[in-house]
Amino acid sequence: MIRVRFAPTPSGHMFVSSARVALANFLHVRRHGGQMLLRLDDVDAERTKPIYAESMMQDLRWLGIGWDECIRQSERMPLYENAIERLKQSGRLYPCFESQEELRAKQDYRRKRGQSTIYDRAMLQLTPEQRAAAEAGGKVPYWRFRLSARILEWPDLIMGKRQAKLPSVSDPVLVHADGKPAPLLASVVDDIDTGITHIIRADDNAANTGIQIELFEVLGANASRLTFAHLPPMGDASRDGGSRGRAGRRVGSLSLRSLRGDGIEATALVAYLAAGGVSGACEPAPALDLAPRFSLARLGKAGSGFDPIALMAMNRRALRGMDFAAVADRLPNGATETFWLAIRGSLDLLTEARGWWDVVAGTIVPPVMEQERDFLVSAETLLPPEPWNGTVWQTWVQALAEASGRDLDTIVVPLQLALTGEDHGPDLADLLPLIGRNRTANRLRVAMS
């Protein structure tokens, strides 16, 4: 059975880039009938907080992304300690005492001479006496994993054939001086223990793949059962650095919480993030509905930009297809189904419904149009009597056309401004019965004054 994992670090709110990884894992595993593990990488208690873990789970549920099991690395320390001890006994972990300042000085020295800055394994030459002296002086070692001289190759479901030349990689630190495992080690231990078969993640993590494969093998696991897929980078598609529109912040600081606050619908964001991997046209839909048509291979190798304008267009389509029951609890108090059906096709964001509710049930101040005064006087005079129904707009426009000799466009534009305060929006044929005769007359008087 295919088993995947989504493994966020709960040190802040979830970003769009992380949501994209979670969605790819979810769609892939649901299409193939597998299982998804949510792993919270919270070993570092100083960086991570339970409130962010809960926030991330709320975001996933909002997107419609479910999981079959949830584990927390902070509850699995004995497992990591056992792996650390095994690696020490195998001779693949070795103690290091060099400080960050010493390492930087060494790298600068080698860089100035055009030499490789890969860690030189100086600590492998440490004698027992030197180690004892360092510890007697109060130094506590951290531990590096000694890589082999192999060149590893593996197929990537998205990027194709890839390789890692381990001799060109610095031996990674797997155990910190406080004894806590580095994320790389904890992740491999968890992947082995939980039976993960597919690692689907962002391409910025691809550099660790060769190290992970070797670590799998050293810990006694069969690395050949692993399949990797690295999502191409997601950047900012807009020319002005992502400032266009309320959804247009830079991707690196764009949280799902901010998008939801802006009024982006979950089905719109899901469809937008999944679009490249879904066969056929991708319309707003729950994540589970997209799974049968999703393929990692369709995502391609090229990076995709985050385009707030395209997301907004997807959001418009989502709102246009939503029925009243799906939004009733998020509309202004008193809003009716008739109101929703009248405005839903004109919204970019659900939050804009508040303004249209003011148009039909509240108070707005239209602009004064002195040049249209005679026409607006005539418009008030020709207002049909109540009750108003779905035909009132047509009746009124026909009377105005006969009295003024104007065509439809020159009738609609001033009335749109006078009655709604906007130069575009929902069809006035739908809005007029909701606005009512008294509000219509009062706004015409304000606009002509």
pLDDT tens-digit map of 279-328: 888 999 999 999 999 999 998 776 667 888 999 999 999 999 999 999 99
152 backbone φψ class: left, alpha, beta (φ>0; ψ -120 to 50): beta
Contact 357, 339 (CB under 8 A): yes
Alpha-carbon distance of 145 to 214, in angstroms, equals 10
Secondary structure (3-state) at 198: strand
Alpha-carbon distance of 203 to 156, in angstroms, equals 11
Q: Which residues partner with 165 through β-bridges?
A: 151
User: Both tokens of residue 186?
Assistant: 């904890």
Q: Tell me, what's the pLDDT at 252? A: 46
Distance of CA 17 to the CA centre of its chain: 5
Alpha-carbon distance of 145 to 141, in angstroms, equals 13
Q: Tell me, what's the pLDDT at 239? A: 47
Nearest to 257 by CA among 243, 247, 268, 267: 247
- pTM of the shown model: 0.88
Q: Tell me, what's the pLDDT at 236? A: 60
Instruction: Identify the DSSP state of 116.
Output: -
User: Both tokens of residue 342?
Assistant: 């009248």
Q: Tell me, what's the pLDDT at 280? A: 83
Ranges under pLDDT 50 in the chain:
239-249, 252
Relative orientation angle of helices 50-63 and 266-274, to the nearest 10 degrees: 80
Mean pLDDT of the residues in the chain: 92
Burial of 342 (0-12, 13-18, 19+ CB in 10 A): buried
Contacts of 436 (CB under 8 A, 6+ apart): 386, 388
Contact 444, 436 (CB under 8 A): no
User: 62-99 burial, b for 16+ CB within 10 Å, e for fewer?
Assistant: bbbbebeeebbbeebeebbeebbeebeeeebbbbbbbe
Nearest-10 Cα torsion for 270, 274, 275, 281: -70
Q: Tell me, what's the pLDDT at 246? A: 42
Instruction: Identify the DSSP state of 235.
Output: E
Alpha-carbon distance of 355 to 333, in angstroms, equals 13
Nearest to 79 by CA among 21, 46, 39: 39
Instruction: Please provide the CATH number assigned to the domain covering 337-448.
Output: 1.10.10.350
Alpha-carbon distance of 409 to 100, in angstroms, equals 72
According to the CATH classification, is domain 235-324 in 3.40.30? Answer: no
Instruction: Identify the DSSP state of 38.
Output: E
Contacts of 32 (CB under 8 A, 6+ apart): 2
Distance of CA 253 to the CA centre of its chain: 10
Query: Measured on CA atoms in the order 376, 377, 382, 383, is the torsion positive or negative?
Result: positive
Domain boundaries, the chain: 235-324, 337-448
